[in-house]
Amino acid sequence: MEELLERLLEECRPFTGKGRVADYIPELAKGDPDALGIYVIGSEGKHAWAGDCRRPFTIQSVVKPILLLQALLDNGAEFVTRRVGVEATGKPFDAINAGDQALDSGNINPMVNMGAIVMCSLIYGRSYDERFQRLLELTRRLAGDGEIGVDEAVYRSEKSHGSKNRALAYLLKFHGLLEDDVEEVLDCYFRACSIQADCRALAHIGAVLSNRGRLPASNERVFPAAMSRYVNAVLMTCGMYDGSGEFALRVGVPAKSGVGGGIMAVVPTRMGIGIFGPALDRKGNSVAGIRLLERLSQELYLSIF
């Protein structure tokens, strides 16, 4: 497997030159556009990797399936679905879904910013600090790494340049989809996006989702299998922003990307995959990362279709 990953990584490395690092968050603009790494954890517990797979980065929107899991664990699927819909928007992840009609839960899903902001408000806790700590603990458990924390520099950069997310949050508030204090909810969201991880952590998260809620090494259950089906289905239709349809054709597995360059992919019953490639396309997805996943899917027949 490692020989295959090394070969595919070198084949796909030139694609890093076809994208650009995110620059609307100043700290992300410091990323290395040439970086590329991959880590795979199979259902039998075997690990394989190549490239810059242990280089840390902030997970950004890859936190959204974890937010969804925490909301499901705290509230159940029926309640969450009433508050945050599951239909693909067909719009960019930070689109302002405003029109002549009132905004409702059917206009958003858990993998776009508006949906993720609402999910922060669904986490149980006496304060938003407590809510975030519970989310962080779940992230650590899913990632198999108790040392995972927040990149404080990215968090401060996100918070000081988060005008569009504030606009989205106040729009949610105006339409009655957000009840709590906007700044408290956003602080939780900015911290969540600034959680720092690496490809191994993302592969481990993907392996848990692949294993229907069980940890890959111990087989200990973290969440019910039904929640794994829920999250994987939403990832399949919405996880790669407004490029999800093309990704389904090219790669064919549930996945979530983030503007930090990460991609967490789930091959049900087979493996979890973590990728890092900060050079992004116009939709906010890693250019070389998607190409690498496409080639791996072709080589190993990973597509679920």
Positions marked active-site: 61, 64, 189, 241, 259
Query: For the chain, how big is the Rg over CA atoms in Å?
Result: 18
The gap from C-alpha 191 to its chain's centroid, in whole angstroms, comes to 14
Beta bridge partners of 274: 39, 264
Element containing residue 197 per DSSP (H, E) = strand 196-197
Beta bridge partners of 51: 37
Q: Tell me the C-alpha to C-alpha distance, in Å, between residue 16 and each of 100, 126, 146, 239, 300.
A: 41, 44, 31, 21, 23
Mark residue 108 as left, alpha or beta (left: phi above 0; alpha: psi -120 to 50; beta: remaining): beta
State the amino acid at position 120 in one-letter form: C
Yes or no: say if 278 and 46 are a contact pair by the CB < 8 Å rule: no
End-to-end Cα, the chain, rounded Å = 23
Yes or no: say if 266 and 255 are a contact pair by the CB < 8 Å rule: yes
Which distant-in-sequence residues (6+ apart) come within 8 Å of 155 by Cβ? 190, 191, 194
Which two three-digit tokens encode residue 76?
């159940």
